[in-house]
A and B are shown apart, each in its own frame.
Chain A
Amino acid sequence: MHGEPFGYEKPASLREFESLFAERGEDAKILAGGTDLFVLIKERLLAPRLLIDISDLPELRGISYDPGEGLTIMAGTKVAEIERSALVREHAPALAFAAANLGSNQVRWMATMAGNVCHASPAAETPPVLLAHGCELVIGTPGGERTLPISEFFLAYRKTALQAGEYLKAFRLPPLPARSAVAYQLRGLRRAMEIDMLNMGIYLELAADGVTVSDIRLAMGSVGPVTYRARGTEQRLKGMRLGEEFMAAAGAGVAEEATPIDDMRASAAYRNRVIGVLARRGLEQCLEQIGKGRGEA
């Protein structure tokens, strides 16, 4: 099946892109890897008049780390680059793992994390980890920039907080404090090439005593119209001591806050039953990492 015809522009610099986007933003779509966009166009769910290809813009590529600011990943960076990056593996291993679980190798060399986030599917691979990391988004605005916590980015099913003329420029993952870790848990029918039936990003931070939970973030995917955090549960868990009671409360809490539906990939009942298992396993993974970190230190 073919979509409607569209125009195609490939600006050579960020400045050229910004002016073109400001001018034609109304009926244009940003084209990054195209691995979501072309599916929609071919299925005729979308008929943009113009595609603006940002896939090779050098200013939008790259991964860097600064001890104060944390990890910065530019929006046009390929998922495969994130998967392989030594910096990401060191400072956000769960993100590298999530990236490695997105599509196939071929898809990962086309796809970008910005595309994954801006497509705003509730089943997407990277948003749960980014939410767990407390990621800040750098958003390009006409003539400037603004930042937004990713937790305020997903407004509704496939709807984001990007305003007209805005685009996603970079991801900032703040440095992880001591005694903290992030984990990523996912479930699909098979072990690769899956749109997840469930996924979850888990952040756990322990107090100096090593047994009190000082901070926690539980970001759930595929259990509602957007990827979102189980904030009520997080609140209740903060200050608890590690142990079976804590784990049980985490599992029960996320199950309660999940609002899944039945779809092709799984039933709501199944998702409700298993989301708690993911929370527990993710927390155990975090604990293991925190323990390891301490062992090394």
Chain B
Amino acid sequence: MNQRKFSIIGTDKVRKEAPAKARGEAIYTDDIKLPRMLIGKIKHSDCAHARIISIDTSEAEKLPGVKAVLVGSEAPNKYGIVPQAPTETALAIGKVRFHGEPVAAVAAVDEATADRALDLIKIEYELLPVYIDPHAAMAKDAVPLHEDNKYGNIAYMAKQDFGDVDKALAESHRVLEKTFKTSYVNHVFMEPHSCVARFDDNGDLMMWSSTQVPHYLHTMASQVLDMPMSKIQVTVPTVGGGFGGKGEASNNELVAALLSRKSLRPVKVTYSRKEVFFQHRGRHPIEMKIRMGVDREGYLTAIDYDGIMDGGAYGAWGIIILFYTAAMLHLPYKITNVRFNAKRIYTNKPTCGPMRGLGGVQPRFALESMMDDLAIMLGMSPYELKLKNAIDGKHDTVSGVHVRHSEYKKCLTEVVNRSGYLEKHQKLPFGRGVGLAGGYYISGTAYTLYMSYKPHSSALIRLDTESGVTLQCGATDIGQGSNMVLAMMCAEKLGLPYESVHVISGDTKNAPFDLGSFASRVTVAAGAAVCEAADKLLAQLLPVAAVHIGCRADQLLAGNGEIYSKFEKELRMPFWDAVEKYIDAFGPLTATGSYTPPRRTGEFKGGNVGHSPTYGFTAHVAEVEVDTETGEVKVVGYNEAGDCGQPINPLSVEGQVEGSIVMAMGQALYEEIRLAPDGRIINPNLHDYKVPTMRDIPHIKTYAVDSYDPDSPFGAKEAGEGPIQPTIPAILNAVYDAIGVRFTELPLTPEKVLQALEEKKRQEGLS
């Protein structure tokens, strides 16, 4: 069944590109300098909601060194990652909807000239009321941000109802109702968005961009520029992270292309950090009112979810994320009565969007917190309650999601044993506590974001005697290491060293189709395509070797740079000799592979969302220390146990898990984009928007539980988005254990902790 003896898979490999990155030699988009290249800069609105009365660019155009000035009306085609409901244009037309929205752009010979030109652009606005709170935006007399939207400022509404929630709650032993609020946070990837666009003499457009999704950028550029896709090529240089924030076309990319077309010169548009905050697409703040019931034994009876998502100014990934939030309620616990009722609201702030673990992080925070509360109400260990409800090895949800493989229970047990949770929970001195939480995530999706049934990933492998192994795959390495994963799989299949596989990826022309890097899809989907291509290559090559060796092809294996008989070790030949013989006889040796995920859906709105070929699971235990005099929360210990199937490169899995935990820890304790009442961002820089530093990060112990999904390439599943799910509730559950206060609002600042402690003292004094 599962061949689990590998020579490359499962070994720690250092990324080929790591030393160059560490030395600052890797070529990122902003490093590209082309002859005659101009610098493009964007003029941002300085009000959050207004009608544009006029834009006067005449002075800017006159400035020497300015080669093109662009306004929104020159590119009126709307775009959006969900093509049925596009809401955005490259530059604002008629109206601005958030402070910092791109309104005009210039291309000039250098940055200083471009900056000066921006100052010369005069825009007249007629101010409209600013809504930074979704409740205010939903008021009856609120001015709609989008006049063509059907329901005022309600962008989307969703309702799903499974089982009989009311009955189940009525019959529950205990029912808990709580409201949770998450905060407005950004991904803070290291590399700001950057794009270089160039038109050649044939009118073809080349875009170098720091995108996660060259394919979707390709489609949106074609739409906005009104050009056939075949005349556009998108290629991705080294990328410094994305986490979802580069998961759709961003304004700088479209503006670079439009300015290049207008100026007839290459144009680069690189964002400042402030502009990254304007582009945003970070996590949706959600206000969630949740009711959850349990029976006497601690089995969950029902979840009733009511949510208001703050969407920001535009649609973007909004509707998808709304339905993901619904889907995420159904796992990793067995639950048959689930009701979801939610709205996504337009507000005058930078647009929310996909961010690592999208859809899951907010409800996970609420649900894992409530499960702890329920367990404690029942006098039960949260571990016992969670384990009781955890899904088994295979599971079907009432929403029709099929989990083909899960080791979630192992994750819970391992992390509890490794952290000493049971010995510590409710037993540590006041001010110190431990918290347990679990989570899961998809490893890819079942559908593209537009109607299409083509394979989601494809790969082409070429073997030749001159340049060795070339693996071409459109999958995009944004720093997560997909080039490495795919090369390791290819090398394992062909029995060649990992270092010998050359990967060409992240390019819409030079590599075959792939949807992009999001939804933790690449290892499973592109991995399957690579495996299929490699298998097909061997199917061509082995018969040639068989003739030479003198045995049956189905008895041959590839390994250690040789092709050999699995029965007689002396029947063998060097791999590359076989390739040479093949090419001498038949010509080029190539093969392609592709992957199309299994299709599943539900007969309800949003029924396509949440299905994945397979799922990753994880459980965390955080240990915290609360300074009861200053309210500071310090995470002093952290354990994780995860089920990512077979880790392809354990070192990279560890990196993904640790990165997830640190990212979520920032969101739990420090991070929040703050807005003034007029919609201006108060902290659009990394000095005032605070991500954790090395000094804040505890020693994190990660552990991959024994796991292998037999239907996945090399048994692998996701490891980059599941592990961000449980961190926030693990920390907040630990804080509860430390000081007996349940926090429901993020981030958990010292101020909130101190206030709560004082309130608690007052209450205890009263009683």
Contact = CB atoms under 8 A, between A and B. Distances in A.
A274 B693 contact: no
Contact of B670 (A190, A195, A273, A274): A190
Interface stretch (B48-56, B470-478, B544-552, B681-689): B681-689
B76 to A, nearest CB: 29
A2 B674 contact: no
Interface residues of B, number: 25
Nearest to A194: B690
A267 B752 CA distance: 11
A193 B687 CA distance: 7
B694 interface: yes
Interface string B639-669: 0000000000000000000000000000001
B111 A277 contact: no
Contact of A274 (B111, B272, B630, B694): B630
Given A1-B115, A267-B751, A190 B692 contact: yes
Interface string A1-14: 11000000000000
A274 B629 contact: yes
A189 B695 contact: no
Sorting the interface of chain A by its residue count into under 10, 10 to 19, 20 to 34 or 35 or more gives: 10 to 19
A191 interface: yes
B751 A270 contact: yes
Nearest to B747: A189
A266 B683 contact: no
B227 interface: no
Interface string A233-252: 00000000000000000000
B686 to A, nearest CB: 8
A190 B112 contact: no
Interface in B679-710: 682-683, 687-688, 690, 692-696
A270 B754 contact: yes
B712 interface: no
B693 A264 contact: no
B749 interface: yes
Nearest to B749: A189
Contacts of B695: 190-192
A1 B751 CA distance: 34
Contacts of B682: 264
B750 interface: yes
Contacts of A1: 115, 272
Contact of B750 (A2, A189, A193): A189
Contacts of B632: 187
B111 to A, nearest CB: 7
Contacts of B670: 189-190
Contacts of A273: 754
B757 to A, nearest CB: 10
B754 A189 contact: no
Contact of A189 (B111, B674, B690): B690
Given A1-B115, A264-B682, A277-B630, A191 B751 contact: no
A270 B692 contact: no
Contacts of B751: 266-267, 270
Nearest to A277: B629
Nearest to A266: B751
Contacts of A267: 751
B584 to A, nearest CB: 58
B116 to A, nearest CB: 8
A190 B630 contact: no
A193 B693 contact: yes
Given A1-B115, A2-B111, A264-B688, A191 B693 contact: yes
Interface string A258-295: 00000010110010011001000000000000000000
Contact of B674 (A187, A190, A264): A264
Nearest to B752: A270
A260 to B, nearest CB: 13
B690 A190 contact: yes
A265 B630 CA distance: 14
Given A264-B683, A267-B751, A274-B629, A192 B694 contact: yes
A189 B631 CA distance: 10
Max chain A Cβ within 10 angstroms of own Cβ: one of B669, B674, B693 = B693
A190 B754 contact: no
Nearest to B688: A264
B683 A2 contact: no
The residue among B111, B272, B754 with the most chain A CB atoms within 10 A of its own CB is B754
A2 B272 CA distance: 11
Interface of A: 1-2, 187, 189-195, 264, 266-267, 270, 273-274, 277
Interface of B: 111-112, 115, 272, 629-632, 669-670, 674, 682-683, 687-688, 690, 692-696, 749-751, 754
Q: Nearest 3 A-B pairs (CB), nearest first? A: A191-B695, A192-B693, A192-B695
Given A187-B630, A193-B693, A273-B754, 17 more contacts: A1-B272, A189-B690, A190-B670, A190-B692, A190-B696, A191-B695, A191-B696, A192-B693, A192-B695, A193-B687, A264-B674, A267-B751, A270-B754, A274-B629, A274-B631, A274-B754, A277-B630
25 contacts: A1-B115, A1-B272, A2-B111, A2-B112, A187-B630, A187-B632, A189-B670, A189-B690, A190-B690, A190-B692, A190-B696, A191-B693, A192-B693, A192-B694, A192-B696, A193-B687, A193-B693, A264-B674, A264-B683, A273-B754, A274-B629, A274-B750, A274-B754, A277-B629, A277-B630
